[in-house]
Chain A
Amino acid sequence: MARELKYADKATQQMLKIAEAENIPTVWDRWEAMQPQCGFGTLGLCCRHCSMGPCRIDPFGDGPKTGVCGANADTIAARHLARMIAAGAAAHSDHGRDIAHTLLLVGENPNSDYTVKSMEKLKAVAEVYGIKPDGKEPRALALEVAKATLNDFGQQTGTVRMAETAPAARQKLWKELGIYPRAVDREIVEIMHRTHIGVDAEYKNVIKQGLRASLGDGWGGSMIGTELSDAIFGSPNPLKTRANLGILKKDMVNLVVHGHEPTLSDVIAIVSQDQDLLEKAKKVGAKGIQLGGICCTANEIMMRHGIPLAGSYMQQELAIMTGVVDMMVVDVQCIWPGLENTAKHYHTKLVTTSPKAKMPGFEHIEFEEDRAVEIAKQIIATAIENYPNRNGKQTVIPDVTQGAIGGFTTETVFQFLGGKYRSTYRPLNDAIIAGRIRGLGGVVGCSNPNVEFEEGHLTIVKELLKNDVLVASTGCNSITCAKHGLMTPEAAFQHAGKGLQEVCQAVGIPPVLHMGACVDNSRILRVLASVVAEGGLGDDISDLPGAGAAPEWMSEKAVSIGFYFVASGVYTVIGKPLPVVGAPGLYKYLTDEIEQEVGGKWAFEEDPIEAAHLMLRHIDRKRKALKLKPMMYPQPFKPEE
């Protein structure tokens, strides 16, 4: 207890004091109790894939150097890592599949609560799949597109059609390397096959399949999730929002949505201002209904409705400790079973909604898409009924919120830059070519109690901005950036270098662009593909002066994301290493040799300033290779040549 989080936002710091005073353990306490964590697992040296084991490799002594089957450290670590990719790709892609199913429902059921909100987006997806949209009414086109995208998951022949949105040179490379994804599900299944006892033991070959499955995620499952969510729920446009726990209201029914898929949360966002429900809320003495989001569901409904961001992944328990959350409704991914213990101290009702994710101590109200509005109303009504149970107990809402602009997409960035009537990436490419912008940075991903909370995210982002790097952000990094005021147009004047400032000022954007949930990293892929297509910066993503980072990563989804960026040609820096440090061959391959094959590679760097400098050095190397002009304005970080 009594942990001081030096870099955390003020609301988190305040809530941690409450946790200590009330003696309610948090994720940081549970992490502390878990120390020291298993060294074999940290190094990637344990294997539980068959029952001749469990096996472990001795990193220091004269103990075993292979498992019972003879697999060495490289094989064991590669197999485990591939399974992490499989789990991450499965999570994202299953989310994508659910969205495609919702679109199918739109097509099949004329009475569905869902409709096509962005015909423009649906047409764009149709074109990728070779479907002619001319003259088709929305539901008919929805049906065709849904069937075509669902095919990408389970087809037995051909390749993932959505991946054809990648630059031609990249697609050619994937085909040459034999890593072009054939079907989203198939690549995941093949990882499970290859990592079974006695199958693939050549570590580079195991990783090759990992790359393939991750590409099926990024350029397949995730991208389908993003694109179809835009078609169904509306393509986001930049809008104002607020972030942090201070958005909760003492005299309103506070309903916090937490998880990932927009299917339920979007409907909740729409029906929460339903007149009947507002009446109900008034009857129990509340002034209205306040929605707030945690984790990526927050990003989804913020992007489309401006619903405020209550907090990031690490704040899920802290939200409950305010004592004013009448319900936390969850779907899938990144939800802690530990919430049960937090909620025991308060009146907060915890509700699971997905048949895939039930939790002890949570009430289960199963969400069915064909009764979406009805169930959303039932959930909100249950939250309202719980409002009187606060019983005047002491509540603490930190008086901390921060304004932010969110809702940037591949298309809106484009419109901002070129204007609505001549949307183009030209000004962005020109700004990079002219040396006004040094390069593009993607800073994304989770937070993790194993590093100083928010230090990595904020330090890297600020160091990049200072050096004229335009930053795209997704997932929990974007919530952190929003909370700390980096997503306002004014932030450019405070943090950005002169060149980036000029660009932000000219087009009126924040220096850090909120591009959505973690599934929306596919938007960053599409931005990179668009920049390549615009011309003047090489033929492939690996030619671009850009780099990515996930400084506080923790989930298997983050592993899959990192791999699809690397496989797309992006230099990807994470804080704590992947669990491969005990496997010397694999370590060298991922952080060095793999660049020869795919143009991208991994770097592990826990010092955030050094991590940002690694990214800048890479950006400079790419600028040099493209023979771009020197930077227009002096740069604080000048790498020694």
Chain B
Amino acid sequence: MSSKITVTIEKCVGCHTCELACAIEHSQAKDIERMVLAGEQPGYRIHVETYGPRSIPISCQHCEEAACVLACPTGAVSRLAPGKPVLVDEERCIGCSMCVQACPFGVMAMSPTGKSAFKCDLCVSRLAQGLKPACVSSCPTRALHLEEEGPANREKRRIAVARLAQAQEAGEQEQVAQRHEQGAQRRESLAGG
């Protein structure tokens, strides 16, 4: 099952650090000052968008039935195997931007040079070194995560189950207390009678 970059929306403060970290990771210089001095424009593969007071980073979802993959006429946009990230082969890309039109999230773009399609590669080279994607590692409020569906869902289910169990226990305790009270009232009325 594939890993996804997920976001805890309430933790995002809209600082755009993930965007810069993404640009640095995909640069030649790997250092923000050197990049600027060299005039590098690696572009962003993650974008922080806003809705009302909320800001949310959004990047490629690496869809299983990816519209970009289906739209690509040369096979440049592809994945190695099910569950693997959707990647762009810049050599095969002809720059037709069909994938850009097809993407329902607006996270497929043309590269700053305009020569090929350009998207989140889930930092595959970092993953190979056991590191998390640059955006995830850089987030100062830890709003971004790299999660696998299995463990992530298990965690969510565990929290849901805990909540249910606690509600159940609280309800039971209330019932017990009510029964005690009813019993006491009955005893009082019997004694009074």
Is the pair B16, A60 in contact by a Cβ cutoff of 8 Å? Answer: no
Which residues 17-51 in B have Cβ within 8 Å of A in the complex?
Answer: 17, 19-21, 23-24, 32-33, 35-37, 40-44
| A582 in complex: contacting residue of B21, B36, B42, B138, CB < 8 Å | B36
Residues of B within 8 A of A61 (CB): 19, 23, 43-44
Assess the A60–B17 pair: CB atoms within 8 A.
no
Nearest B-chain residue to A38, judged by Cβ: B17
Q: Tell me if A639 counts as interface (CB < 8 A to partner B).
A: no
Interface string of B131-149 (1 = CB under 8 A from A): 0000001101000000000
| CB <8 Å contact, A581 and B36 | yes
B176 is an interface residue with CB less than 8 A from chain A: no
Q: How far is the CB of B107 from chain A (nearest CB, A)?
A: 13
Given A36-B138, A38-B17, A40-B16, the answer on whether A581 and B44 have CB atoms closer than 8 Å is no
Q: Is the CB of B33 within 8 A of A38?
A: no
Residues of chain A within 8 A of B41, CB atoms compared: 60
A43 within 8 A of B: yes
A43 to B31, CA, bound (A): 11
Asked if B167 is an interface residue, CB under 8 A from chain A, the answer is no
Residues of A within 8 A of B36 (CB): 43, 59, 581-582
8 Å CB interface, A108-155 against B: none
Question: Which residues between 43 and 73 of chain B lie within 8 Å of chain A, taking CB atoms?
Answer: 43-44
Q: Give residues of chain A (569-628) contacting chain B, Cβ–Cβ below 8 Å.
A: 576-577, 581-582
B15 interface residue (CB < 8 Å to A): yes
| Pick from A36, A60, A576, A581: contact of B37, CB under 8 Å | A581
Main DSSP-derived SS at the A contact region: loop
Q: A60 CA to B118 CA in the complex, in Å?
A: 15
The answer on a CB contact under 8 Å between A42 and B43 is: no
Smallest CB separation, B17 vs chain A (Å) = 6
Q: Are B44 and A60 in contact (CB under 8 A)?
A: yes
Complex interface: chain B residues within 8 A of A581 (CB): 32-33, 36-37
Query: Are the C-beta atoms of A577 and B23 separated by less than 8 Å?
Result: no
Q: Which of B19, B32, B42, B44 contacts A42 (CB 8 A)?
A: B32
Give the CA-CA distance A577 to B33 in the complex, in Å. Answer: 8
Q: Across the interface, which residues of A come within 8 angstroms of B44, CB to CB?
A: 60-61
* Given known A-B contacts A43-B32, A60-B23, A60-B43, A38 and B37 have beta carbons under 8 A apart: no
CB closest residue in chain A, given B140: A38
Residues from chain A with a CB closer than 8 A to the CB of B20 are: 38-40, 59-60
Out of B16, B21, B35, B42, name the residue touching A36 (CB < 8 Å): B21
Please tell me if A80 contacts chain B, counting CB pairs below 8 Å.
no
Instruction: Find chain B residues with CB under 8 A from A58 CB.
Output: 16
**Contact mask for chain B residues 118-160; partner A; CB cutoff 8 A; 1 contact, 0 none:** 0000000000000000000110100000000000000000000
Beta-carbon contact of A39 and B43 below 8 Å: no
Residues of B within 8 A of A42 (CB): 32-33
Say whether A56 faces chain B, with CB atoms less than 8 Å apart.
yes
Residues of A within 8 Å of B42, CB to CB, are: 60
Produce 1/0 per residue, A37-69, CB < 8 A to B: 011101100000000000010111101000000
With a cutoff of 8 Å between Cβ atoms, the chain A residues found around residue B35 in the complex are: 60
Which A residues lie within 8 Å of B24 (CB)? 36, 39
Asked if residues A43 and B15 are in contact (CB atoms below 8 Å), the reply is: no
Give every chain B residue within 8 A of A60 (Cβ-Cβ). Answer: 19-20, 23, 35, 40-44
B16 to A56, Cβ gap below 8 A? yes
Contact of A39 among B32, B37, B40, B137 (CB under 8 A): B32
In the bound assembly, the distance between CA atoms of A42 and B20 in angstroms comes to: 11
Alpha-carbon separation in the docked complex, A581 to B37 (Å): 7
Residues on the B chain within 8 Å of A59, using CB: 20, 32, 36
Chain A: minimal CB distance from B19 (Å): 7
Residues of A within 8 A of B33 (CB): 42-43, 576-577, 581
Are B15 and A38 in contact, with the CB atoms below 8 A?
yes
Whole-angstrom distance between the Cβ of A473 and the nearest chain B Cβ: 27
Q: Determine the chain A residues whose CB is within 8 A of the CB of B21 once the complex forms.
A: 36, 39
Rounded to whole Å, the gap between the CB of B77 and the closest CB of chain A is 22
CB neighbours of B17 from chain A (8 A): 36, 38-39
Bound together, the chains give a CA A364 to CA B43 distance in angstroms of 52
Could you list 7 examples of A-B contacts with CB < 8 Å?
Answer: A38-B140, A39-B17, A39-B24, A40-B20, A42-B32, A60-B44, A577-B33
For the A-B complex with A42-B33, A61-B44, A576-B33 known, give 8 more contacts whose Cβ atoms are closer than 8 Å. Answer: A36-B138, A38-B15, A38-B20, A58-B16, A59-B32, A60-B23, A581-B32, A581-B37
Q: 5 smallest A-B Cβ distances: which pairs? A: A39-B20, A581-B33, A39-B32, A60-B23, A61-B44
